[in-house]
Amino acid sequence: MSNGTEDVSILDLNLDEVPDLNLAPEGQNQLMITGVPSIRSGEKDGRSWQNLTVVLAAVNSPNTYRIYHTLWLPQADDDEDRTNSSKRRIKAFMIAFGIPISGPLNLESWVGKQGFAILKSVPGREGREDKMEIAKVVVGS
């Protein structure tokens, strides 16, 4: 029975051989949704907001940082242009990843879905590392 005092080195983790994480390459990449999208909401400058945050991985680039993509949801006080812009982005993402655009929305069913997107590098904020973000999803590839 373990008493928690064993030498951790017996696990032989070979930590010296763990590859560093890198950014996925810029340009078109095949991505996979790796977790259930989270719904976030709040208020800023007197306006409410709500979004879905989707976590993705580059399928053909192991040992790369995850990609966090935000889908902004239309709000009651949005004008028609802003509402339609949000809807177009959500629709394009869902089509690109093979997610049905009609019927009930089951976020858990998104996990494992794959699609293509154009990635671009963006500088990190406040001392954080650079990151990749989706510049555009590729519909119909």
User: The CATH number of the domain where 99 resides is what?
Assistant: 2.40.50
Is pLDDT of 63 > 60?
Answer: yes
Give residue 2's pLDDT: 54
Task: Confirm whether 9 is domain-assigned.
Answer: no
Is the CB of residue 22 less than 8 Å from the CB of residue 63?
yes
Q: Which residues form the domain of 79?
A: 20-138
Instruction: Count up the domains in the chain and report the number.
Output: 1
User: Chain-wide mean pLDDT for the chain?
Assistant: 89
- 25 within some domain: yes
Domain assignment present for residue 10? The answer is no
pTM of the model: 0.83
For 11-20, what is each residue's pLDDT tens digit? 677 788 889 9
